[in-house]
Structure 1
Amino acid sequence: MVTKEEIERIVREVVDEKFVKSIDVDDKGNVTVTLAKDTPDIDNVLIKLHSEIGKLEGVGLITINRERETQEGGENVQLTKEIILEKLKEVIDPEIGIDVVNLGLIYELDVRPDNTVYVKMTMTTPGCPLTMWILRAVEDKILEIPGVKDAEIELTFDPPWNPDMISPEYKKKLGLY
């Protein structure tokens, strides 16, 4: 199984130590790294960390978090799935030019009693080079909503995405029917 020392070595190679807030490795090899919110070049750091940690033997689930600022004034906001889905329409897949909601990438959405938002989503292909960027954009948009305490994004490829998952409106725009 992977050790915390191995993870710390990889993290130090990728990002300056002053931006690392915590590193945890559990008994199943699941890795959680939390970075400072002001970590420079965060998109590249996230992708490189995920890639380099994934090369280690015995690594389970890799979670890379960023510190977040607490939203003020959202205590009395009633969060709904509709509000969150509307916000997620602002996340556009840059390769296809369609938002993640109308593209059919959002499989499940749940607003928990503590105002944590859970999203289960996919990518158009398992090898999508923009996976980390899109996941981060989804998380960032959710966290912009007043009243949201936290966002938990789960990536799945079961079932695999296919063009039938595109919304009817966008299928028409794309000439798919």
Structure 2
Amino acid sequence: MVTKEEVEKVVKSIVDEKFIRSIDVDEKGNVTVTLAKDTPDIDNVLIKLHSEIGKLEGVGLITVNREREIKEADENVQLTEEMVLEKLKEVIDPEIGLDVVNLGLIYDLKVNPDNTVYVKMTMTTPGCPLTMWLLRAVEDKILEIPGVKDAEIELTFDPPWTPDRISPEYKKKLGLF
């Protein structure tokens, strides 16, 4: 099984130590790394960390977080799923050029009474090199919505994504009747 020391060595080879907030490895080999919110070139760092930690023997689930403040919920703001979906249309898959909503990557979305938001989403392929970037972009966009207290993003590949999930409007634009 992977050790915390092995993970620390990889993380410190990619990120300056002053930006590392915590590194945890549990008994199943699941790795959680938390970085400072001001870590330079964060998108590339997230992708590289995920890739390099994944090469270690005995690694389970890899989670790379950024430190952030949990906001107090504004009880006067009435959040809706429609508001969240509209905001998520700003997250464009850079490889395909479509937003995550019209591409059909969002499987489930819930706005909870405490103004936290839950999203279950997928990628077009399990090996998508932009997985960490897209997950982070979705989380960031949700947290930009006034009144949102926190966001939880779950990644799933069940069921697998297919082009059938693309919205009818975009299927027409792409010529995929």
TM-score (norm 2): 0.91
Long gaps (5+) in structure 1: none
Change (3 A) 1:3 1:91: same
Structure 2 residue 143 is matched with structure 1 residue 143: yes
**Distance of 1:6 and 1:120 partners within structure 2:** 31
- AA paired with 2:78? Q
Change (3 A) 1:45 1:120: same
Change (3 A) 1:29 1:85: same
Corresponding residue of 1:14: 14
CA shift digits 1:4-62 (9 cap, x unpaired):
22221111111001001111222222211111111001111101110111111222211
Corresponding residue of 2:133: 133
**Distance of 2:135 and 2:55 partners within structure 1:** 20
Structure 2 residue 63 is matched with structure 1 residue 46: no
**Distance of 1:146 and 1:71 partners within structure 2:** 10
Contact 2:70 2:150 (8 Å CA) reproduced: no
For structure 1, which segment, 142-151 or 100-109, has the greater mean C-alpha deviation from structure 2 after superposition? 142-151
Sequence identity (%): 86
Change (3 A) 1:73 1:114: closer
Structure 2 residue 76 is matched with structure 1 residue 76: yes
Long gaps (5+) in structure 2: none
Displacement after TM superposition at 1:133 (Å): 1.7
Displacement after TM superposition at 1:124 (Å): 1.2
Displacement after TM superposition at 1:123 (Å): 1.1
Displacement after TM superposition at 1:71 (Å): 4.7
**Distance of 1:24 and 1:76 partners within structure 2:** 38
Determine helix, strand or coil for the equivalent of 1:22: strand
Determine helix, strand or coil for the equivalent of 2:148: coil
**Distance of 1:10 and 1:75 partners within structure 2:** 43
Corresponding residue of 2:91: 91
Contact 1:73 1:146 (8 Å CA) reproduced: no
CA shift digits 1:81-119 (9 cap, x unpaired):
111111100001122221100110001112234333221
The alignment covers a number of residue pairs equal to: 177
Displacement after TM superposition at 1:74 (Å): 3.3
**Distance of 2:15 and 2:131 partners within structure 1:** 20
**Distance of 1:103 and 1:160 partners within structure 2:** 13
Determine helix, strand or coil for the equivalent of 2:44: helix
**Distance of 1:54 and 1:73 partners within structure 2:** 36
**Distance of 2:111 and 2:30 partners within structure 1:** 25
